[in-house]
């Protein structure tokens, strides 16, 4: 086989009960190179690297490390063959020192006792090798995020890793920390270590990588030589799918002069200076990558997390919801991203779920008016075509699409005016998706207003009247319907507006 490559993935395929996560993906990593792996959310990057660590067993395909062939890996095999992954969540124990973390699970012993001194000495050497200054005695919990990451890297190198896979390593770091991480990466590269670097920050990729592999929708798209490629080409490769799905049409229903929601310099929950206006009958899309601060913004409007500054103006009145209850009473509703954990109450009935926000209103002296309860549930079951044998069916027995409709029924029963949809069609089959889209159209045609958060580019472009894109907690741009283009959205989503503040 080819001597040049330390790691080869050949024709990797992964299916999850009929859903294809990876489709014939191949990748080659040379000795001592930094290979960037890029793609949108859900492109399959994480699944791919997990096949290297043994966390994911491929359905078919080969993994070749230093000429040895494997059909799948296990965490142990990966370690033996010199593959280490630095995840976004560190595997450290906060209450142990940096040195002890370095030797976690494999301490230097003196008889039956742990030899702290020897470990600290070794740790010092390991850190010196990477040109990093960490006192081995410092508790991991007292180190900055950047240094905690360095400890992870040092650990991998100490265990003789030849391939280092880094999953969004720069995401939690300040810009100075990113600089020192880069230095470590380059140092490792010069020592012959190969790195697979996953990041959505394109400018980092241009600074650091030798080659770029692009994935899209679980498929291998292309490999580029970094210095010969251009950022426009890259963005186009990431998002350049043909738009084939059709979206149900809707009547023009935007009331230009009626502002339902206005945010003025809203800060908090990781977001900064958010300004936007939402008109009655409009579907405003919020685009961006996972972690861009869109859900966080929704949480502030819905009273889950309080904003730290700025103004939220709803129907001309300033509001400051401290609890979801207050937001609901104003007329704001949230269809959350994690349907099963945050959206529906799985263990209780369809009827109870739909009435939950208004029980206090359909009760007299705390006693529920069961006729009204039944009527309400029946109305929204019929209006939204919720498929359930009876209203007393437990929600956990319904399909994902019907659960989503129950949530919607709940908010319609509560007479909400503004409905925030956070990834409304995640994990819902195609037929049910289309129904949800139609319902959204019905809602705006009836004078409701929608804020749509979606990571699915097609859905965002197909359903929104206007799109605002966020990146790292800030608005990076706004697009009108006629300006919608996957490339422009992606460019805004990966933009970094300004250097992150130092801690």
Residues that bind another protein (CB under 8 A): 302, 304, 323-325, 328-329, 334, 336, 341-348, 352-353, 355-357, 359-360, 362-363, 366-368, 370, 410, 414
Distance of closest approach, residue 325 Cβ to another protein, in angstroms: 5
Distance of closest approach, residue 301 Cβ to another protein, in angstroms: 13
Distance of closest approach, residue 386 Cβ to another protein, in angstroms: 17
In the bound state with another protein, the residue whose beta carbon lies nearer, of 283 and 304, is: 304
List the alpha helices (DSSP H) in 254-321: 294-301
3-state helix, strand, coil in the chain (%, to 5): 35, 30, 35
Residue 28 CB contacts under 8 Å (≥ 6 apart), including other chains: 2, 5, 7, 8, 9
Distance of closest approach, residue 216 Cβ to another protein, in angstroms: 34
List the alpha helices (DSSP H) in 209-301: 231-239, 294-301
* C-beta separation of 78 from 53 below 8 A: yes
Residue 299 tokens, joined: 């949480």
Distance of closest approach, residue 84 Cβ to another protein, in angstroms: 32
φ, ψ of residue 125 in degrees (nearest 5):
-65, -45
In the bound state with another protein, the residue whose beta carbon lies nearer, of 264 and 426, is: 426
In the bound state with another protein, the residue whose beta carbon lies nearer, of 16 and 359, is: 359
φ, ψ of residue 225 in degrees (nearest 5):
-85, 125
* C-beta separation of 215 from 45 below 8 A: yes
In the bound state with another protein, the residue whose beta carbon lies nearer, of 71 and 323, is: 323
**DSSP assignment of 349-364, as one string?**
BHHHHHHGGGTTTSEE
In the bound state with another protein, the residue whose beta carbon lies nearer, of 171 and 345, is: 345
φ, ψ of residue 368 in degrees (nearest 5):
-70, 135
* C-beta separation of 99 from 125 below 8 A: no
In the bound state with another protein, the residue whose beta carbon lies nearer, of 358 and 496, is: 358
Distance of closest approach, residue 456 Cβ to another protein, in angstroms: 23
In the bound state with another protein, the residue whose beta carbon lies nearer, of 190 and 390, is: 390
Task: Kindly give the pairing relationship between strand 83-86 and strand 109-110.
Answer: unpaired
Among 449, 427, 476, CA closest to 287: 476
Among 212, 170, 215, 218, CA closest to 29: 212
In the bound state with another protein, the residue whose beta carbon lies nearer, of 59 and 363, is: 363
Distance of closest approach, residue 72 Cβ to another protein, in angstroms: 24
Residues β-bridged to residue 450: 283, 419
Residues β-bridged to residue 10: 62
Distance of closest approach, residue 365 Cβ to another protein, in angstroms: 9
In the bound state with another protein, the residue whose beta carbon lies nearer, of 299 and 476, is: 299
Distance of closest approach, residue 489 Cβ to another protein, in angstroms: 28
Distance of closest approach, residue 363 Cβ to another protein, in angstroms: 5
In the bound state with another protein, the residue whose beta carbon lies nearer, of 190 and 366, is: 366
Among 426, 487, 456, CA closest to 202: 487
**DSSP assignment of 421-466, as one string?**
EESTTTT--HHHHHHHHHHHHHHHHTT-EEEEE-S-HHHHHHH-SE
What is the spatial distance between Cα 503 and Cα 500, in angstroms, rounded to a whole number? 9
What is the spatial distance between Cα 134 and Cα 144, in angstroms, rounded to a whole number? 10
């Amino acid at each position: 086989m080819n001597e040049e490559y330390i790691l080869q993935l050949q024709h990797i395929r992964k299916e999850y009960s009929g859903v294809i996560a990876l489709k014939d993906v191949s990748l080659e990593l040379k000795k001592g190179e930094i290979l960037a792996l890029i793609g949108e959310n859900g492109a399959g990057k994480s699944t791919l690297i997990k096949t290297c660590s043994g966390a994911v067993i491929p359905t078919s395909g080969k993994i070749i490390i230093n000429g040895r062939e494997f059909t799948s890996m296990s965490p142990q095999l990966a370690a033996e063959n010199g593959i280490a992954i630095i995840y976004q969540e560190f595997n450290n124990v906060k209450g142990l020192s940096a040195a002890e973390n370095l030797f976690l699970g494999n301490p230097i012993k003196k008889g039956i006792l742990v030899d702290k001194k020897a470990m600290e000495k070794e740790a010092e050497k390991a850190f010196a090798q990477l040109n990093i200054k960490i006192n081995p005695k410092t508790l991991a919990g007292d180190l900055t995020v950047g240094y905690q990451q360095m400890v992870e890297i040092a650990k991998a190198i100490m265990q003789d890793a030849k391939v280092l896979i880094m999953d969004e390593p720069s995401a939690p770091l300040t810009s100075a920390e990113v600089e020192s991480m880069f230095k470590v990466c380059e140092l490792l590269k010069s020592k012959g270590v190969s790195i697979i670097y996953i990041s959505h920050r394109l400018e980092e990729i241009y600074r650091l990588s030798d080659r770029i592999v692009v994935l899209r929708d679980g498929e291998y798209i292309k490999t580029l030589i970094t210095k010969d490629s251009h950022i426009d080409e890259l963005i186009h490769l990431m998002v350049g799918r043909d738009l084939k799905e059709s979206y149900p049409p809707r009547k023009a229903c935007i009331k230009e002069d009626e502002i339902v929601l206005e945010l003025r310099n809203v800060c908090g929950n990781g977001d900064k200076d958010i300004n936007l206006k939402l008109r009655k009958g409009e579907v405003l899309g919020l685009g961006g990558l996972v972690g861009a601060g869109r859900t966080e913004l929704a949480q502030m409007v819905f009273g889950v997390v309080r904003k730290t500054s700025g103004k939220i103006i709803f129907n001309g009145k300033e509001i400051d919801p401290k609890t979801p209850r207050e937001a609901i009473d104003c007329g704001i509703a949230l269809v959350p991203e994690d349907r099963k954990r945050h959206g529906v109450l799985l263990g209780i009935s369809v009827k109870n779920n739909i009435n939950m926000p208004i029980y206090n209103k359909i009760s007299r002296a705390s006693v529920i008016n069961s006729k009204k309860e039944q009527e309400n549930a029946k109305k929204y079951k019929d209006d939204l075509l919720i498929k359930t044998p009876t209203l007393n069916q437990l929600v956990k027995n319904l399909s994902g699409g019907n659960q989503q409709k129950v949530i919607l029924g709940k908010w319609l029963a509560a007479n909400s005016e503004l409905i925030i949809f956070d990834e409304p069609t995640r994990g819902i089959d195609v037929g049910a998706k289309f129904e949800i889209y139609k319902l959204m159209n019905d809602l705006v045609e009836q004078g409701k207003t929608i804020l749509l958060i979606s990571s699915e580019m097609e859905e965002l472009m197909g359903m929104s009247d206007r799109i605002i894109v966020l990146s790292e907690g800030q608005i990076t741009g706004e697009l009108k319907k006629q300006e919608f283009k996957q490339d422009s959205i992606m460019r805004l989503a990966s933009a970094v507006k300004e250097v992150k503040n130092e801690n």
